[in-house]
Chains A and B, each alone.
Chain A
Amino acid sequence: QVQLQQWGAGLLKPSETLSLTCSIYADSLSDCFWSWIRQAPGKGLQWIGEINHNGKTNYNPSLGSRITVSLDTTKSQVSLKLTSVTAADTAVYYCAREWYYGSGEKFDYWGQGSLVTVSS
């Protein structure tokens, strides 16, 4: 069984940096990716980035160089940083485990979600 518990800042001003952390309670951090997914109010899901236990990252091109995902294997924590936020970054942010099975992938465990609001 895997559990993901998130925390981080809820209210930001434009141009500030979003910072969220997700604690991973799992037998292993290997053999999968750890992803961040967001959902703007009333909108659909958007995958924004991922990292594996070797530090390999993959980001949604729409976020450019603003996003950094990191993994602290000693603390079993995955973190998200998003710089220069705007109102468009207002969303519920989820961490999730991403498991590949060859011909597909699945997000099989999700955190509880963290609402981040960007407002002046």
Chain B
Amino acid sequence: SSELTQDPAVSVALGQTVRITCQGDSLRGFYASWYQQKPAQAPVLVIYGKNNRASGIPDRFSGSRSGNTASLTITGAQAEDEADYYCHSRDSSGNHPSFGGGTKLTVL
């Protein structure tokens, strides 16, 4: 089991706002990064740090952190945002990178 916990699945209506969360003790001291993965493709970095978008990522994607929870928010979700999303930070020891279990986002 992952030390970073994500909801397995989330859905959002087209054009609406959705928040995907990631919980873990390491997030209190270490920022999360977020990755989007579409079927049969490599993951793509979306958000890192306090709230930094990776190159080429639309500004409808944003990130935040509160306590031990990191969040990825999509404001005005588009059909092309349907994908698996993974958070990444450190394991509880702080010694190794770790991924959340992933959240499958469905855009209705």
Give chain B nearest CB distance to A68 CB in angstroms. 16
Q: Does B61 make an interface contact (CB < 8 A)? A: no
Interface segment among A7-15, A24-32, A105-113: the answer is: A105-113
25 contacts between A and B (CB under 8 A): A35-B97, A44-B86, A44-B102, A45-B35, A45-B37, A45-B102, A46-B99, A47-B88, A47-B98, A60-B96, A61-B96, A94-B42, A94-B43, A98-B97, A101-B48, A104-B31, A105-B97, A106-B45, A106-B48, A106-B54, A107-B35, A107-B43, A107-B45, A108-B54, A112-B42
Binding site for B on A (CB under 8 A): 35, 37, 44-47, 50, 58, 60-61, 94, 98, 101, 103-108, 110-113
Q: A-B contact count, CB below 8 Å?
A: 65
How many angstroms between the C-alpha atoms of A45 and B84 in the bound complex? Answer: 11
Q: Which residue of B lies closest to A109 (CB)?
A: B45
Q: When A and B form their complex, which 10 residue pairs have the shortest distance between CB atoms, in order from nearest?
A: A104-B31, A106-B48, A45-B99, A47-B97, A110-B42, A106-B33, A44-B102, A44-B101, A108-B45, A113-B42
Provide the residues of chain B in CB contact with A37, threshold 8 Å: 99
Contact status B99-A47, CB under 8 Å: yes
CB distance from B64 to the nearest CB of A (A): 13
B67 within 8 A of A: no
Question: Quick one: CB contact mask for B31-56 with A, threshold 8 Å, 1 for yes?
Answer: 11101010000111100110000100
B69 interfacial by beta-carbon distance below 8 Å: no
Q: How far is the CB of B34 from chain A (nearest CB, A)?
A: 9
